[in-house]
């Protein structure tokens, strides 16, 4: 394709990507390097309906506004926000290393820092949910493939529901069911004869519940991709394998799975990205007492509290971006190699 045509076809996408992806990321990174100006404070008399009039400290609005207008971006903080206690916490890590007597103590000191706590959960979520989703999706695709033709359609439709419904709605629906007073929660209490059993009360059970939600939500995606792939398995190769005496399991292992490998890479890529930005289940299950994720602490900085911490949220966003890139490097290298080895 001639260069001019190539660029004119690519131009809209390139422009959109620069405007909506590259520039915002650059702006967020810039924001993460600044903190707010020092608030100029003064003591004045404040009168309220209760407690009469007292002397209180308030912010001197004019002086602070003057500072803000002189330097709109704020105070330059360099990489200070990245290394403060809310993020990589180098100071606290160093102190923990010096003061901890055992490795267990060091570990609990790390988990006390919110960024590492969120990082551990996010990585655990990604590492556990992704392989399960791949395996379950394949198994269900194989099973649905064996159904009589009439029932395939409805089966596929119902299977897709967990993925189609908005993640927040899906997690709320499951939260109501597993709640200690909900149908599943109460049944579990009866089953285990423990009236205090609550999936939302203990951190371990909360994590397991969130992992199960993640698998429930993402399996339809891998199911539908593998199911589509199964329709294109070359029948001749299958028959040849059967003539050679291969059993069912061997046929699946040596013919079907290798044929689906490119799809596996595709689903793996998408799942790694999706699971790394887990957020909705933590809100839906009100699980932030026991499990927080990187996306969740960004949301908490911006919307969760009384104050908005833009710089802190920007720094966490950028660190999340770096994390996703690191996670995807192996998959991207593999895809690049496959692409290069194909004939032009």
Partner 1 sequence: MSAASQQHPISMKFAAFGLVLFWLMLAGGPFLWTVWGSFKVQGDFFSKSDWTNAIYGIRTTIETGGPFTGQGYSGAWIEQEFWRATLNTFIVVLCTVTISLTFGTLGGYALARSGRR
Partner 2 sequence: MKQTMKTSLYAGALVLLGSVAHAGCGVTSGNVNILGNDFPALQAVADEAIACAHDGMKVEANLTTEHREIMSPALTANPAEYNAVFIANSQLMPLLAKGLIRPLDDLVAKHGQNLAPNQLIRVDGKIVSVAFMANAQHLFYRKDILDQVGARPPESYEDVLAVAEKIRAAGKMEHPVALNTKVGWNLAEEFINMYLGHDTPMFKAGTAEPAINNDAGVSTLNTLKALTGYSNPDYLTFDSNTTQALWESGDLALATMWGSRGTAILDDEGSNAAVVSSTIQSGAPTVAGGSKPATSLWWNGFSIATNTSDEDAEAAFVAMVNGISTDMVKANNDKAAWLIEGYEPNVATAGIVASMEAGASPYPMLPYMGVMHTALGGELVDFLQGNESAKQTLSDIEAAYTTAAREKGFLE
3-class DSSP string for 15-69: HHHHHHHHHHHHHHHHHHCEECCCCCEEEEEEECCCCCEEEEEEECHHHHHHHHH
Instruction: List contacts with partner 2 (CB under 8 A).
Output: 35-39, 41, 43-51, 53, 56-59, 61-62, 64-65, 75, 81, 84-86, 92, 108, 112, 114, 179-180, 195-196, 198, 200-201, 203, 286, 288-290, 300, 303-307, 309, 311-312
The Cα 264–Cα 54 span in angstroms is: 67
In the complex, minimum distance from the CB of residue 187 to partner 1, in angstroms, rounded to a whole number: 9
Burial annotation 242-260 (CB, 10 A radius, 16+ → b, else e): eeeebeeeebbeebbeebb
The Cα 29–Cα 248 span in angstroms is: 53
**SS3 for 243?**
helix
| 303 contact choice in partner 2, partner 1, none (CB below 5 to 8 Å, kind-dependent) | partner 2
In the complex, minimum distance from the CB of residue 326 to partner 1, in angstroms, rounded to a whole number: 24
Which residue, 47 or 249, is less far from partner 2 as judged by CB? 47
In the complex, minimum distance from the CB of residue 240 to partner 1, in angstroms, rounded to a whole number: 10
The Cα 276–Cα 218 span in angstroms is: 13
Q: Which residues contact 164 (CB under 8 A, 6 or more apart)?
A: 220
Which residue, 159 or 312, is less far from partner 1 as judged by CB? 159
| 229 contact choice in partner 2, partner 1, none (CB below 5 to 8 Å, kind-dependent) | none
Judge contact between 215 and 133, C-beta under 8 A.
Answer: yes
Q: Which residues contact 49 (CB under 8 A, 6 or more apart)?
A: none
In the complex, minimum distance from the CB of residue 160 to partner 2, in angstroms, rounded to a whole number: 30
Which residue, 35 or 134, is less far from partner 2 as judged by CB? 35
Which residue, 193 or 248, is less far from partner 1 as judged by CB? 248
Which residue, 68 or 183, is less far from partner 1 as judged by CB? 183
Which residue, 98 or 149, is less far from partner 1 as judged by CB? 149
Nearest to 296 by CA among 280, 273, 308: 280
Give the DSSP letter of residue 194. -
Instruction: List contacts with partner 1 (CB under 8 A).
Output: 1, 5-6, 9-10, 12-14, 16, 139-140, 142-144, 146-147, 155, 158-159, 161-162, 165, 170, 173-174, 176-177, 181-183, 186, 216, 220, 238-239, 242, 248, 339-340, 344
Q: Look up residue 62 and give its two tokens.
A: 């004019």
Which residue, 67 or 155, is less far from partner 2 as judged by CB? 67
In the complex, minimum distance from the CB of residue 197 to partner 1, in angstroms, rounded to a whole number: 15
In the complex, minimum distance from the CB of residue 329 to partner 2, in angstroms, rounded to a whole number: 31
Q: Which residues contact 148 (CB under 8 A, 6 or more apart)?
A: none
């Amino acid at each position: 394709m001639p260069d001019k045509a190539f660029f004119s076809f690519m131009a809209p996408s390139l422009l959109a990507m620069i405007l909506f992806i590259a520039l915002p990321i650059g702006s967020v990174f810039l924001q993460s390097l600044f903190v707010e100006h020092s608030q100029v404070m003064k003591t004045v008399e404040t009168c309220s309906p209760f407690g009469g009039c007292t002397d209180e400290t308030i912010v001197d609005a004019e002086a602070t506004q003057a500072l803000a207008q002189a330097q709109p971006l704020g105070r330059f903080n360099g990489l200070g926000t990245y290394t403060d206690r809310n993020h990589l916490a180098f100071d606290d890590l160093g102190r923990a290393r010096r003061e901890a007597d055992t490795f267990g103590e060091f570990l609990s000191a790390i988990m006390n820092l919110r960024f590492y706590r969120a990082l551990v959960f996010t990585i655990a979520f990604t590492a556990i949910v992704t392989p399960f989703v791949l395996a379950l999706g394949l198994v269900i695709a194989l099973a649905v493939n064996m159904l009589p033709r009439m029932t395939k359609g409805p089966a596929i439709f119902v299977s897709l529901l967990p993925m189609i419904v908005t993640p927040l709605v899906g997690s709320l629906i499951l939260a109501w069911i597993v709640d200690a007073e909900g149908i599943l929660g109460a049944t579990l209490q009866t089953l285990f004869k423990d009236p205090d059993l609550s999936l939302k009360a203990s951190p371990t059970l909360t994590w397991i519940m969130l992992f199960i939600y993640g698998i429930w939500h993402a399996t339809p995606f891998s199911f539908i991709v593998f199911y589509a792939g199964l329709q294109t398995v070359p029948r001749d190769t299958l028959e040849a394998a059967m003539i050679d005496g291969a059993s069912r399991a061997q046929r699946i292992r040596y013919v079907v799975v290798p044929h689906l490998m490119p799809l596996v890479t595709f689903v793996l890529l998408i799942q790694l990205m999706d699971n790394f930005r887990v957020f909705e289940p933590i809100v839906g299950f009100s699980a932030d007492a026991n499990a927080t994720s990187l996306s969740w602490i960004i949301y908490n900085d911006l919307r969760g509290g009384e104050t908005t911490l833009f710089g802190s949220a920007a720094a966490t966003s950028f660190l999340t971006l770096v994390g996703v890139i690191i996670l995807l490097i192996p998959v991207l290298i593999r895809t690049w190699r496959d692409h290069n080895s194909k004939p032009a």
